[in-house]
Chains A and B, each alone.
Chain A
Amino acid sequence: MAETAVPAALPPVRPVAAPLSVREILPWAAFLAVVALVVLYFVGAEQGATSLVSGEAVHEWVHDARHLLGFPCH
């Protein structure tokens, strides 16, 4: 509606933001990798395949989430 005339050539691709370098992302990625692995381990595997905490409490507490998130449970 607004632009009736289609431009003959598309404007050059200009990124909407400057790309972030790996150096800027890496410290945060390292930090998050640790946090995410611990969370995924306790939600997805603790007291199933391996057990750091004795008993069944962790497994039983996240039992339904483990099944519904797709992790093998028992």
Chain B
Amino acid sequence: MKPASGGRPPAAPVPPPPPPSRPAPAGSALVRALLVRGMLAGLAAGVVALAVSYLLGEPRVEAAVAFEESHAHGHGEELFSRTLQSTGGLATGVLLFGTAVGGVAALAFCFALGRTGRLAPRATAALVSLAALAGLYLVPFLKYPANPPSVGDPDTIGTRTALYFLMMLLGVLLASAAAVLGRALVPRFGAWYASVAAAGALVLAVGLAYALLPGVDEVPADFPATLLWRFRLAALAVQAALWTAFGLLFGELAERVLRPGPAPAAARTPPPHPAASVR
């Protein structure tokens, strides 16, 4: 103890340090906290995906629209200019999509939390994001890949939409089933072999669905193959960017919700925006 010096009376004891922070929410409040952060992280990831879709995707869309118009097969009258479609319209769709799937992934994270062994919240968020990319996008994409304008027969839009949404549903259901199966196998086979077995079962089930569902091949004979390939790569890049950004960002936010106490970053002054700081 430092002896009191000067004229100051030593009476006032040092107050006990305040508790590190308010306690972490639990139960339904925790679900709500994670859901809100998931939707915000989804919105932010949507901004990243928007940048990728504008920079990588739009040139391909533009080229495909030019092909469409050169074949006098256009939409007729235009409601919105191409400029509006490729900026405001694109942003509306991508940001809404990011926010919605961010919320879905946050709830999947709530199910996974505490059920992934030693994985910390951040790693669990990364795993959930990877699973969401696979179930929600890769599974449908590998059977019914994204198509640029002028690829696809307008008369079959009903069937193709139904098949695509069915494939999304199947991807999510089968990925969830594989996760449940893998967890059930852990006590018997250990985490590694249980994961390998669950992934194998998932591949098998998805392959079976691919074999049973009808294929779609409606590419016009003279549509440039390189343009189709580049468009599909760009579409893949959009989703990869969305889910990578979401996994990193949401993991960071979830870690802060679940460990509000002596987080490693707490040594420094807490930043005003949790999302803005990089450890």
Q: Which of A's residues lie within 8 Å of B, judged by CB?
A: 13-20, 22, 24-25, 27-29, 32, 35-36, 39-40, 42-45, 48-50, 56-57, 60-74
Tell me the smallest distance from the CB of A61 to a CB of chain B, in Å: 5
Q: Which of B's residues lie within 8 Å of A, judged by CB?
A: 26-28, 30-32, 35, 53, 57-58, 61, 75, 78-80, 84-86, 88-94, 96-97, 99-101, 103-104, 107, 110-111, 113-121, 137, 140-141, 144-149, 152, 154, 157-158, 160-162, 164-165, 231, 234-235, 238-239, 258
Residues on the B chain within 8 Å of A65, using CB: 53, 89-94, 97
Q: Which of A14, A42, A67 has the most CB of B within 10 A?
A: A67
Q: Are A68 and B146 in contact (CB under 8 A)?
A: yes
Q: Are B93 and A66 in contact (CB under 8 A)?
A: yes
Known: A60-B85, A68-B235. A17 touches B35 (CB 8 A): no
Could you say which of A13, A49, A50, A68 contacts B90, with CB atoms under 8 Å apart?
A: A68
Could you say which of B31, B61, B165 contacts A64, with CB atoms under 8 Å apart?
A: B61
A-B pairs with lowest CB-CB distance, top 9? A65-B93, A19-B114, A49-B161, A62-B93, A70-B146, A72-B160, A39-B100, A15-B114, A68-B57
Tell me the smallest distance from the CB of A22 to a CB of chain B, in Å: 8
Could you say which of A62, A63, A74 contacts B157, with CB atoms under 8 Å apart?
A: A74
Known: A36-B103, A69-B238. A28 touches B161 (CB 8 A): no
Residues on the A chain within 8 Å of B86, using CB: 64
Residues on the B chain within 8 Å of A19, using CB: 113-115
Nearest CB to that of B254 among chain A residues? A17
Q: Are A68 and B79 in contact (CB under 8 A)?
A: no
Known: A17-B121, A28-B110. 15 other contacts (CB 8 A): A15-B114, A16-B114, A17-B113, A25-B111, A28-B31, A39-B100, A43-B93, A50-B158, A56-B79, A64-B58, A67-B147, A68-B238, A72-B164, A73-B149, A74-B75
Known: A64-B89, A67-B146. A48 touches B120 (CB 8 A): no
Residues on the B chain within 8 Å of A74, using CB: 75, 149, 152, 154, 157
A-B contact pairs, 12 of them (CB 8 A): A13-B117, A25-B107, A28-B110, A35-B103, A60-B79, A61-B80, A64-B53, A65-B90, A67-B149, A68-B53, A68-B94, A69-B239
Residues on the B chain within 8 Å of A73, using CB: 147, 149, 152, 157
Tell me the smallest distance from the CB of A73 to a CB of chain B, in Å: 7
Complex CA–CA separation, A45 to B115 (angstroms): 35
Tell me the smallest distance from the CB of B256 to a CB of chain A, in Å: 13
